[in-house]
Structure 1
Amino acid sequence: MSDFSPGQRWISDGETELGLGTILNVDPRSVTVLFGASQETRTYSNRQAPLTRVIFGNGDRLEAADGWHLTVDDSKEVAGLIIYLGEDDQGERRELPEARLADSMQFDQARDRLLSGQVDRNDWFDLRFRTLHHYHRVEQNPALGLSGPRIDLIPHQLYIADEVARRHAPRVLLADEVGLGKTIEAGLILHRLLLTGRAERALILVPASLTHQWLVELLRRFALDVTLLDEQQSLAHGETNPFESGQLVLASQDWLFANPERQAQAEACEWDLLIVDEAHHLDWHPEHSGPGYRCVERLAARVPGMLLLTATPEQMGLTSHFARLRLLDPDRYHSLERFREEEQHYVEVAEAIDALECLPQDADERVRVAAVIDEPDSLALLDTLADPQAGPEQHVTARDQLRDQLLDRHGTGRVMFRNSRRHVGGFPERCLHVSRLELPASYRRVLRRLERDEDYLDELLIETGLDHPDVLVYPDVMYRAQPHDPLNTEPWWQFDPRVTWLLERLADTGEDGFADGKVLLIAHDRETALGLAEGLRVLGGLHAPVFHEGLSLVERDRAAAAFADEDEGCQVLVCSEIGSEGRNFQFCRHLVMFDLPLHPDQLEQRIGRLDRIGQRHAIQIHVPVFADSPGERLLRWYREGMDAFSAPHGIGSEIYAAFGDALAESLLDAASLEDVITETRMLFEARQTERNAGRNRLLELNACRFDRAEAVIDAIRELDEDRALPRYLDQALDIFGVDSQELGRGIVHLQPGSHMLDGLPGLVQGEEGFSATYSRSRALARDDVQRLSWEHPLVREIMGRILDGAMGNTALALLKHPAIPGGRLMVELIFSTHCPAPRQLHLNRFLPPTAVRVLLDESGANLSGKVSFTGLSKALKKVRKATARDLIRSRHDQLRDLLDQGEAEAERELPSIVEAAQSRMRRELDSELSRLEALAHHNPAVREDELKAQREERAALDAAIDSTRLRLDAVRVIVTVGEDD
């Protein structure tokens, strides 16, 4: 007969989540167990039941079925059942039969699991310790939250993200020029706030045309799962609030601003961060405001953190710019007139900062600087800088400190960040190549009639459904829209000379040819792109994938990947206007504009697919135009009116708003075009002059502190080059059941194995998984390849499951060593600091879970300093679980004593850990708090609620760190065996 008796308590070795089981029935062949907490019944073979008897010892705290607790100090056995003796929480002596133990008792804690005979594999224990070690190290890295996203390491973007994400409930305006990465900056800030616990929910409002672009950017660059909400999705939620459907919600401004009911639902939710793109479209005047502005204003009053994005903060004038700042801080920016007065002061401050460079050589410049400062500390620095007797090092130090003070204390630098290309640098040269081609007869026939007959244009627009002036600029679209014309008997690409021109350039190996590199071709219309690809195939035998808005996300990825492949990829990728939005093709240097867009912003978006920081080559922009056509006149307006091809300037929308109608009328009238170009140039130069003076100069100086940016980049590179990550992840993937296949060039493909644990991000049984790389550069070149880092969702999920669960927190192993007799016992205990605190405090930057390792021999001697974890792990041998349970049972009392001794040894380490964390916290927060308090006396942009939150955070962190305790995280029993065993 077995040792089973009805009423005994056992646990399942293979299904510990079932909880505590009770023996219901025993016969010579089987045993039946009821797991009351999960209402499951299992029947096992009597001889091979995977069960472990639960026996508690002195000091254990037990829960009774009716809710009271007992601390055990003795036990007795009656008819095969254990009765525990001890005191309840009121100090009364009581007895608790094992049959009356609570079914819900779990054995997740290492001590309970070990003493109840539950042991895991040694490689699980090893992975758990290494996870704790790496988590401790990574959480303290100053680049946490910035190293994982798939981005280039661009100083100004990382500086802004680091500066803003450090603040309590940041409220700022991101106003970098076009192409400098405002979306990336906002994504970095959001990513860090989420990863550090300072934010949990965010609402992102963008123009309808940009919702897909934002969705793709957040997913591909930042691995953020965003809920895209529209009216159809909202209706699917019935009576419930649709804005509660996700932690991160992305919605169209056009949809939300037009729907008061949905606005009320959005305002009823708890958000930590509000992000508004293209914020200059929010309409406000002192007398009235538009529905969009009013909606954002109500949300801004409820949401602690806020990011406004615009490349053109003054596009609608100073009043519009004041309106944005008013959303961020209505107490600070309450008077438009006062704001106008402050604007006049910014020119003086900018000139004073420039004058610092002339001291001490030009003593007259001291007057210019002194005119804008009156603080004693600043005047003392100015005296040092103007003193010719001071040494060069003193001058440099004084200049840097005084410059920083002026930037901190004047202007809107704390609430607004604006970088320009001239300040950032590192952008490639743009080279424009224009090819004038003869207008084919089929196009010329229609254009000549349009020039002679004004009524014909109206007829054509009604007949084709096209917009004016699209019908003039895109002749192939106009041609396709007249199928009834008896002269239109062949596809447009068979006679259009632009197709022949393109084929000749693709085959040309000379300076004017494309044979030396990849070619991105963009056409305005999707049908034009599809027809062009067909023409290249039929006329030139050339395969060119088409990238357009009708493709699914996966199809676009495949087309982009085929284009990106250096060796076997296609030479040409044909894109429609909308299809290429948001994509990065900076590995390519030839851009062919098959036609020209009508809006300057769309022109810049096209060039922006290639013109990015990190582009290694000059960008070759090729534009084939028909001589004396509307397309050539549009080209002249771009070149001569606003230098649109040389560099982005961010005022294209304003210029188009001013001259778009006049331009449309002049496309058929060369004489009137001259006036449009002249007036456009005058407005362009005036706006450029305004933007280069005063506050913009201050903002450029303050928008990137390069020393700080380089420190962040160095910290990111430290994580990028961490060789421990591939080793760690290989071990973790093997244990979690994920198959990894090398694809070459540093790329691996991960897919679910046959026994993979459920719920891993990106890995679902029955699906193909994903390709990934550790290389930042490879991930940037391939949209279809994810980048593995310590911040990747898969890595974070694996680490979280290990640290938050019981996986690997017990083990038993054998050690064979010639110098150690067999039968000896050692215990390896891993303690971890435990410090409950709200996530938003981000305690881990000062005190992440910290491991304390204690290795004891059976006599209680501490061997931790003599035997390393790695060295010991390599010498250990695995043991069968049944044997492990027998060994634990036979050494039960000895193990209890060693566990108690180990806890006492670990406690000796705690004071130094707490003291070091307190020092780190005080050193960082006290200096920042002092700086902000001093700054608040000079710059009203430092909000009082920010100072209050900083003080409260410091006090809360001080109390949390002081309450730190140690708890046993994992324990491994090691039994020595002799040479003959």
Structure 2
Amino acid sequence: MSDFSPGQRWISDGEAELGLGTILNCDNRIVTVLFPASEETRTYSVRQAPLTRVVFGSGDRIQSADGWQLIVDDSKESDGLLIYIGQDDQGQWQELPETQLADTMQFDQARDRLLTGQVDRNDWFNLRFQTLQQHQRIERNPALGFTGPKVDLIPHQLYIADEVANRHAPRVLLADEVGLGKTIEAGLILHRLLLTGRAERALILVPDSLTHQWLVELLRRFALDVTLLDEQQSQAYDSTNPFEAGQLILASQQWLFANPHRQQQAEDSDWDLLIVDEAHHLDWAPDHAGPGYTCVERMAASIPGILLLTATPEQMGLTSHFARLRLLDPDRYHDLEQFKEEEQGYVQVAEAIEILDRLSEAGHSPLPPNDREAIAAVIDDPDSQALLETLDDPERGPQQHAVANTQLRDQLLDRHGTGRVMFRNSRRHVAGFPERRLHVSELDAPSPYRHLLRRIARDEDTLDELLIATGLDYPDAVLYPDIMYRHMNSTSLEAQPWWRFDPRVNWLLEQLEAARDADDGGKILVITHHRETALDLAEGLRVVGGIHAPVFHESMTLVERDRAAAAFADDESGCQLLICSEIGSEGRNFQFCHRLVMFDLPPHPDLLEQRIGRLDRIGQQHAIDLLVPVFKASPGERLLCWYRDGMNAFGAPTGIGSELHDVFGDALADALLDAEGLQEIIEETWTMYQTRLDERDAGRHRLLERNAYRPERAQQVISAINELDEDPALPDYLDRALDVFGIDDVTLGNELVHLQPGPQMLDGLPGLTKGEEGFTATVSRQAALARDDVQHLSWEHPLLREIMGRILTGTMGNTAVALLAHPAIPAGRLMAELIFRTHCPAPKSLHINRFLPATAVRVLLDESGTNLSGSVSFHGLAKNLQKVKKAVARDLIRSRHDQLRELLFKGEQEAERELPSIVEAAQTRMREALDGELIRLQALARHNPSVRPDELQSLRNERSALNDAIENTRLRLDAVRVIVTVDKDKR
């Protein structure tokens, strides 16, 4: 029966977890199958459909969609459909058309393969059982989705990722300061959502200059296969929608925002998650919205999950900050003036929480009257009032006071502010950042530069000529004397290159020589604003000092950039110096270096902080030395004074530099050529800088920082990751799996191993293509982090997930025959080792595996049907078994066919006794996890509008759906091994 007819029941050979499928329609080319239990539909080619027709035989027990069961006696066919005939549980003869079979039924491939003589190797069977055990344990680990990424275990990043990824359709603003790892946080969230099935498709929009950085980060750190889409690639898809080309699409904001046709195609695609980097560039005002903001706003209205990334959420003021929040929840953030009033109220909440912190340290009661009044002023519910009374009651013990204090503080954090939609960590409360040390070298400007500046100061026409020649705006053009000189003398045959006379070149050579004997090789990163400066400087160093330095700039290909960065990073044979244009301050992490030369200064405070942020990152082991050469009395020196004395820009990031630039930028530009008034500008900038810091510290930021990082929760996540990182079962499983799948491994030392395709390797394994070299990997996180070219082998690595997936969804190892020689057991005795597994069809989005992953139930029966499972362990038995030739195995099965059917039936009865306890345990885990969260969110919603109504309803729906799915869990036979005893001397 190989012809397809609507109504027939089939199962997917490669996706057995989909459940029982129904043929919807079929023509000469394709067949469409609906899998109702998992809410999935598949379309296959008729000629190559990986489907197996469900046909039950005499003695099989089947279930109807209405819940009653039938023991099959016979069957008949009508119009291509089967009708089963047999007795129901009451002994009544019934007919059951296959169209009315229960969707949750599974075709028992192990039994039928065995009874037809199809047997696999014993090591395959052993690996299958081990895979079931490990999969069950891993899927329930709370760190699922976080162990695979090749990242340091940084607490605040993991806390945010865990908090956000656990939500239904998360919509949040990731706003950590520069260097705290927003990209990693977004990658962790995406990785977990993908692994748990809560997301399948994501659109990632980033500035054009960061597209390749994101592509490389997602591939190297998270092993995610991302499609980078641009106009050239889009045109290759002809009339089809290019945004359907992959599950994960990465695109440039500039490209998409400027192309209405591509925007419509993106909006027409189904997405589960939208990630937008540098979201503060989306322009919005109450009476106007830029094209980028409008595009994101339209997509955000239909995409369930939104991650907006920005390091400077307030850089354009409170209005800009409000604009980001209204993208996340337009119903909650609909009135700008109301939002401003709410922000002012957070000052009192922050003060109340600080009082509770002081009380926690002092441990005294009753409360001082002023403190009690301050706390009571922000409490408006009976629960919190009761906690305050407990805290103020001298009759209560220290333990009760401590518990009440903690609960009240957590309630205030939960119920006030934007902490549920915005995560903002700063260096003030995240440890691990280095000191910054500024070293300014004042140099005498060479005569060609002085001559140019005098001409510009005297003659406005010269300035106009310069702006036209360079294509730059004022004041940018006057900040870079080498660029001025280059363009103003571009037609002169006698003009020598600027690096011939610029004292910064010899100054840099001196810095290289002074640092050369340092333990780290004296590595120095040089950043210039313009690509031309970087290229010219590299040429000057080669000619003047014999220094061959790699250059990193925006016109290079990704491979060229990687080579330049790798040449700089290599400890043994790498270059001491890397010269970058401004793009070098975007995206790349050079924290192995701690000397930064700013050959010139950028025109904007945000760019300055981006430069420093390439070295000043969490985990940096050294103080950062910022080396800045400036020409005396030049525009560059005046800009440095404004940065240093007006906003302490070299000392630490603040996130308010852009606001200061907006206010004082024009006045500063006038002062760059004429120092009169510069000191007054610096003093006014400093006053505003201090005011903004005080305002920020007074209210909302203290609440945000407390909500953005909770150390106890972060440590729980790290402990769970370490449990899997240090899992002793991983190397053993890996060795077995590599052997079974035909992968060769070569030990390289230092915890490294090189994996490559073996002669018998199975096809289609990630990173391993026959005829190619393979890859180097390690199970050690630290060893993997030390080298970009080494992959981190974890339970979540694509290779292991593919191996485990093939085993769990396919037939590999689900039958075996073995011999057992045991002096206490007579020869010729038959045993059946049956492995059952729970089957619980449910939509992927429910992530049911966190409560009930596929769970193995082992039953070992002797030929009389006695259950030996409790007295004979799997591993104890397996190590004493001997293989048997397949021809002998088939003859043995044929001769014991009826006996085996009886044992299979008996084994099913034994396994069914275990099912109720498995289901009950899963329901208990589910209720403990979701009931408490639902109660908390319901209470929170009464105080904090950031809890969306759809979030609460989704949680209720999720709990109900999970309860139903777990309740309908069934057991199915996953694998069976037939064991025959033999005399030792007759093996």
Match of 2:692, as an amino acid?
R
After TM superposition, where is structure 1 displaced by more than 6 Å over at least 4 residues in a row? 37-40
Gaps in structure 1 of 5+ consecutive residues: 1-15, 18-36, 41-54, 63-69, 76-86, 95-105
How far did 1:430 drift?
0.9
Counterpart position of 1:328: 328
2:485 and 2:776 map into 1 onto residues whose CA distance is 44
**Where do 1:830-849 residues align within 5 Å?**
830-849=835-854
| 3-state SS, counterpart of residue 751 of structure 1 | strand
1:739–1:546 Cα change, 3 Å: farther
Counterpart position of 1:652: 657
How far did 1:539 drift?
4.7
Match of 2:114, as an amino acid?
L
Counterpart position of 1:28: none
Counterpart position of 1:404: 410
CA RMSD between the two structures: 3.0
Match of 1:391, as an amino acid?
G
Match of 1:506, as an amino acid?
L
**Where do 1:720-869 residues align within 5 Å?**
720-869=725-874
2:475 and 2:754 map into 1 onto residues whose CA distance is 49
Q: Are 1:430 and 2:425 matched, yes or no?
A: no
How far did 1:972 drift?
1.7
CA contact (8 A) 1:358 1:365 kept: no
1:935 and 1:182 map into 2 onto residues whose CA distance is 27
2:515 and 2:171 map into 1 onto residues whose CA distance is 53
1:556–1:470 Cα change, 3 Å: same
1:829 and 1:355 map into 2 onto residues whose CA distance is 62
Please, which moves more after superposition, 874-883 or 185-194? 874-883
1:890–1:556 Cα change, 3 Å: farther
1:72–1:698 Cα change, 3 Å: closer
Match of 2:911, as an amino acid?
A
| 3-state SS, counterpart of residue 977 of structure 2 | strand
User: Which of 569, 574, 582 does residue 579 from structure 2 map onto?
Assistant: 574
1:332–1:462 Cα change, 3 Å: closer
**Where do 1:100-499 residues align within 5 Å?**
109-359=109-359, 360=365, 362-481=368-487, 482-489=489-496, 491-499=497-505
CA contact (8 A) 1:725 1:790 kept: yes
Q: Deviations over 1:139-182 (max 9, x none)?
A: 00111112222222222221121112111112222222232222
1:252 and 1:509 map into 2 onto residues whose CA distance is 39
Counterpart position of 1:922: 927
Please, which moves more after superposition, 435-444 or 236-245? 435-444
Q: Deviations over 1:922-964 (max 9, x none)?
A: 1111111111112222222222211111111111111111111
Gaps in structure 2 of 5+ consecutive residues: 1-12, 15-44, 49-54, 63-69, 76-81, 88-92, 95-105, 360-364
Counterpart position of 2:102: none
**Where do 1:949-968 residues align within 5 Å?**
949-968=954-973
| 3-state SS, counterpart of residue 435 of structure 1 | strand
1:748–1:557 Cα change, 3 Å: farther
2:980 and 2:550 map into 1 onto residues whose CA distance is 64
1:514–1:887 Cα change, 3 Å: closer
Q: Are 1:974 and 2:969 matched, yes or no?
A: no
Percent identity between matched residues is 73
1:72–1:332 Cα change, 3 Å: closer
Match of 1:502, as an amino acid?
L
CA contact (8 A) 1:140 1:844 kept: yes
How far did 1:918 drift?
0.7
Q: Deviations over 1:779-824 (max 9, x none)?
A: 3333332222212222211211111111111122223334444333
1:969–1:698 Cα change, 3 Å: same
| 3-state SS, counterpart of residue 89 of structure 1 | strand
**Where do 1:562-641 residues align within 5 Å?**
562-579=567-584, 581-641=586-646
Q: Deviations over 1:451-490 (max 9, x none)?
A: 444322322333344554444333334444434334433x
1:362 and 1:958 map into 2 onto residues whose CA distance is 49
Match of 1:236, as an amino acid?
A
CA contact (8 A) 2:521 2:571 kept: no
2:822 and 2:210 map into 1 onto residues whose CA distance is 66
TM-score norm. by structure 1 comes to 0.86
**Where do 1:68-107 residues align within 5 Å?**
88-90=83-85
**Where do 1:516-531 residues align within 5 Å?**
517-531=522-536
Match of 1:397, as an amino acid?
V
CA contact (8 A) 1:57 1:73 kept: yes
**Where do 1:863-902 residues align within 5 Å?**
863-902=868-907
Counterpart position of 1:31: none
CA contact (8 A) 1:506 1:515 kept: no
How far did 1:658 drift?
3.2
CA contact (8 A) 1:847 1:917 kept: yes
How far did 1:417 drift?
2.0
Match of 1:747, as an amino acid?
L
Q: Deviations over 1:819-877 (max 9, x none)?
A: 44433332221111100011111100000000111122223222222222222222223
2:381 and 2:744 map into 1 onto residues whose CA distance is 65
Please, which moves more after superposition, 138-147 or 882-891? 882-891
Q: Deviations over 1:676-724 (max 9, x none)?
A: 3233323322322222222222212222222111111111111111122
1:605 and 1:257 map into 2 onto residues whose CA distance is 24
| 3-state SS, counterpart of residue 692 of structure 1 | helix
| 3-state SS, counterpart of residue 698 of structure 2 | coil
How far did 1:258 drift?
3.1
CA contact (8 A) 1:56 1:116 kept: no
Q: Deviations over 1:339-377 (max 9, x none)?
A: 233223211111111122344363421111111113222
2:47 and 2:713 map into 1 onto residues whose CA distance is 58
CA contact (8 A) 2:74 2:84 kept: no
CA contact (8 A) 1:108 1:806 kept: no
CA contact (8 A) 2:584 2:611 kept: no
1:266–1:509 Cα change, 3 Å: closer
Match of 1:847, as an amino acid?
L
CA contact (8 A) 1:507 1:515 kept: no
CA contact (8 A) 2:159 2:709 kept: yes
CA contact (8 A) 2:72 2:86 kept: no
Q: Deviations over 1:307-351 (max 9, x none)?
A: 222333333333333333222222223333332332232111111
2:815 and 2:513 map into 1 onto residues whose CA distance is 67
2:539 and 2:762 map into 1 onto residues whose CA distance is 47
How far did 1:432 drift?
1.3
CA contact (8 A) 2:919 2:967 kept: yes
CA contact (8 A) 1:557 1:783 kept: no
Please, which moves more after superposition, 557-566 or 695-704? 557-566
Match of 1:488, as an amino acid?
A
1:259–1:267 Cα change, 3 Å: same
| 3-state SS, counterpart of residue 822 of structure 1 | coil
CA contact (8 A) 2:470 2:483 kept: no
| 3-state SS, counterpart of residue 414 of structure 1 | coil
Match of 2:171, as an amino acid?
R
1:39–1:474 Cα change, 3 Å: closer
CA contact (8 A) 2:172 2:420 kept: yes
1:564 and 1:868 map into 2 onto residues whose CA distance is 51
1:651 and 1:521 map into 2 onto residues whose CA distance is 25
2:514 and 2:539 map into 1 onto residues whose CA distance is 21
| 3-state SS, counterpart of residue 947 of structure 1 | helix
Match of 2:577, as an amino acid?
V
How far did 1:408 drift?
1.5
